[in-house]
C-alpha cells in the first residue's frame, strides 16, 4: 500500500514517547499537514505550535533541547530549512543540539503548490553544515526507521519527508544505522544510485531495462550525510558507471556527494540526474515526467549513458 513518508512522522513520534523517550515536537502552524498533530492529540504537552514563525520554531526547539529533551521540528521543507537556515546553522549545529529538523512536502512532488513550495535545495543546504546528518527515506517504512534513528542518535539531523504516497520498498521490520546505503536490486552494467521518491522509480526503470538486456543495479542512498562509502564504492567498482537520481537540484545534492566521494576513492563515469531549475505547478506524476526523473526518464538516461 502506497503511503507518504510524512505519514510516518507523527505516528513514530507517538511510538517513541510510548517507548519512554523524552520527545517533543515544535511546529509552525502546519501540524495537520506535517502530522505532528498526532503527537499533540495523544500527548498535548509534547507539541508546541509557534504559528507561522519558523525562526522562532528553531529557537524554541533549541531551548527545549537544552533542557535534555529530544526535539523534532515540522513545517514544509521550503520554510523549515530555508526560512530558518541561519537559526539551524548558528543555534542548532554550532552548538551540536539534539534537534531533529524533519520538514515535509519536499521536492516537486508537492505538486500544484508550484515553484514557491517545491524545495529543491534543502539537501545541499543541510549537508554542508558541520555536525548535521542528512537522511532521505524512500518509503513509509524507511521514514519510520529514519525518524527512530534520528531520535536515538544525539545531535542534529535533517530528515527529508514528502507529501506524495510512495510504493513500498521495505517491509515493516526495516531498520537502519549510520551510514546507510542499500543495494535493493543487483546489477552489472550500471549502478543507479537514488534517494527518496526516486528509489521506487529507479527500481521500475531497472525492470524496464532488464527486458532490453540491460542489467541495472539500484542503490538506495538514504544516508546522504554521512555516506555509506563502502557500499557506494563497491557498487561503482562493480558496474563501472553510475547514474545518480534525486528529486532535488543536481548542484550540491546526493549526486554531488556521490561524485565527490568517487572522484577521491574510485573514479568512474558519473552522471547526475535531477533538476537545474525551479519547479512549476502540476501533478506529481506530470512533474516527474516533465523533468525526466520518473521511471521512463531514468531508463532513457541509462540508455544514453551506456551508448556514450
Per-residue model confidence (pLDDT) at position 162: 96
Question: Which CATH architecture describes the domain 182-307?
Answer: 3-Layer(aba) Sandwich (3.40)
Q: Which residues contact 130 (CB under 8 A, 6 or more apart)?
A: 93, 94
SS3 67: coil
Residues 125-161: tens digit of each pLDDT: 999 999 999 999 999 999 999 999 999 999 999 999 9
What's the grid cell of residue 207?
525492470
Q: How confident is the model over 20-38, as pLDDT tens digits?
A: 999 999 999 999 999 999 9
**Tens-digit pLDDT profile for residues 123-134:** 999 999 999 999
Q: What is the dihedral of CA 282, 285, 286, 287, to 10 degrees?
A: 70
Please state whether the peptide bond connecting residue 57 to the residue before it is cis, i.e. omega within 30 degrees of 0: no
Residue extents of the structural domains in the chain: 7-159, 182-307
The reported pLDDT for the residue numbered 308 is 76
Is the full-model pTM beyond 0.85? yes
Q: Fold match between 7-159 and 182-307?
A: yes
Which tens digits make up the pLDDT trace of 253-273? Answer: 999 999 999 999 999 999 999
CATH code, 7-159? 3.40.50.970
Query: Are 221 and 194 in contact, with CB atoms under 8 Å apart?
Result: yes
Cα Rg for the chain, rounded, in angstroms? Answer: 18
Catalytic residues: 54
User: In the β-sheet with 216-220, what is the strand arrangement from edge to edge?
Assistant: 182-185, 216-220, 190-194, 241-249, 269-275
DSSP string over 194-240: E-TTHHHHHHHHHHHHHTTT--EEEEE--EEES--HHHHHHHHHHHS
pLDDT in tens, 193-240: 999 999 999 999 999 999 999 999 999 999 999 999 999 999 999 999
Each residue's pLDDT tens digit, 74-132:
999 999 999 999 999 999 999 999 999 999 999 999 999 999 999 999 999 999 999 99
Give 2's pLDDT tier (boundaries 50, 70, 90). very high
What single-letter DSSP state applies at residue 88?
Answer: I
Residue 193 φ then ψ, to 5°: -105, 120
Amino acid at each position: 500500500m502506497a503511503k507518504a513518508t510524512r505519514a510516518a512522522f507523527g505516528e513514530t513520534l507517538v511510538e517513541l514517547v510510548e517507548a519512554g523517550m523524552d520527545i517533543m515536537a515544535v511546529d509552525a502552524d502546519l501540524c495537520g499537514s506535517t502530522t505532528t498533530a498526532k503527537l499533540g492529540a495523544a500527548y498535548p504537552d509534547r507539541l508546541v505550535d509557534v504559528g507561522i514563525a519558523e525562526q522562532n520554531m528553531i529557537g524554541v526547539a533549541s531551548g527545549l533541547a537544552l533542557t535534555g529533551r529530544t526535539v523534532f521540528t515540522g513545517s514544509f521543507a521550503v520554510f523549515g530549512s530555508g526560512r530558518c537556515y541561519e537559526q539551524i546553522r548558528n543555534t542548532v549545529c554550532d552548538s551540536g543540539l539534539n534537534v531533529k529538523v524533519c520538514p515535509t512536502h519536499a521536492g516537486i512532488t508537492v505538486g500544484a503548490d508550484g515553484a514557491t513550495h517545491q524545495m529543491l535545495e534543502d539537501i545541499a543546504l543541510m549537508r554542508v553544515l558541520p555536525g548535521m546528518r542528512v537522511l532521505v527515506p524512500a518509503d513509509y517504512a524507511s521514514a519510520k526507521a529514519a525518524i527512530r534513528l534520528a531520535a536515538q542518535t544525539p545531535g542534529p539531523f535533517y530528515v527529508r519527508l514528502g507529501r506524495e504516497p510512495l510504493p513500498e520498498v521495505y517491509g515493516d521490520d526495516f531498520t537502519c544505522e549510520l551510514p546507510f546505503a542499500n543495494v535493493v536490486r543487483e546489477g552489472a552494467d550500471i549502478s543507479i544510485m537514488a534517494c527518496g521518491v526516486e528509489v521506487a522509480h529507479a527500481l521500475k526503470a531497472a525492470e524496464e531495462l532488464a527486458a532490453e538486456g540491460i542489467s541495472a543495479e539500484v542503490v538506495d542512498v538514504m544516508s546522504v550525510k554521512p555516506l555509506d562509502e563502502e557500499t557506494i564504492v563497491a557498487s561503482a567498482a562493480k558496474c563501472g558507471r553510475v547514474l545518480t537520481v534525486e528529486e532535488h537540484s543536481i548542484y550540491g545534492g546526493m549526486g554531488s556527494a556521490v561524485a565527490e566521494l568517487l572522484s577521491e576513492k574510485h573514479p568512474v563515469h558519473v552522471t547526475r540526474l535531477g533538476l537545474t531549475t525551479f519547479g512549476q505547478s502540476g501533478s506529481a506524476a506530470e512533474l516527474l515526467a516533465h523533468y525526466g526523473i520518473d521511471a521512463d526518464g531514468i531508463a532513457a538516461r541509462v540508455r544514453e549513458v551506456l551508448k556514450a
